[in-house]
Structure 1
Amino acid sequence: MTERDRLDFGGLWNGLSYIVLGLVALAVFVFYGDPVDTGGVIASIALVGIGVAAVLAQKLSPLFAELNRYWTGLFWALCGLGILGLGLLSSTKRASSGVLGVLFVIYGVLIAFDR
């Protein structure tokens, strides 16, 4: 897959998929157990924010339309590390936030290596 085959960051459907995924994750983290998983809730809100940013990115600045795969992968890896750190520090259920953070880091690394 070349750089041209990959979709540009942003767009309506790309952003809506992040928003829907974030809202579903938020519902799972809130209603999953007796204590609310605050790390998961923060990660879900961040995912909804990423979706809103993806919808508005090309309208705000044309610089976001030309990000290469290294910057995009770094962004996702840093989001994963942030989610992992927040989940481990603020949550009583660290496993779900830890898994979500690790998955974001893996996703970012795979994007950076064009896989």
Structure 2
Amino acid sequence: MRARRPPLKTIGSDPDYRFTLANERTFLAWVRTGLALLAGAVALVSLVHDFGPRPLRLSITVLLLALSLTVTVGAYVRWDRTERALRENRSLPTDPLPRIMVAGVAIVIVAAAVLVFLAEATT
């Protein structure tokens, strides 16, 4: 079992408040991205009923929901790791979240393009 991490206030020293606020703004931007992905999934499943094959629409919806959850949880993990690095005056950690986001959105774009093509081919 992994040891529990100490609370932020107990490690290192308080960084310059501007860096903490910038880290918080980045966190909130990732959360907004997760909410936008969630909104896209809800719109696709509830507003677009006759657009392409249902299994493909549901696949895109599931992918959007998974990506939304990944981005939202990843935002917190990223914020925490960055805040700890700032408090301990270490280099900022590398983060896989942007790569995950780009890969997920690229897959959604390709699937949506297929959906559009199939919808146009059947009309």
**TM bracket (short chain):** 0.3 to 0.5
Q: TM-score, normalised by structure 1?
A: 0.45
The structure whose Rg is larger is: 2
Higher RCO (C-alpha 8 Å, min separation 6) = 2
TM-score of the superposed pair, with normalisation by structure 2: 0.43
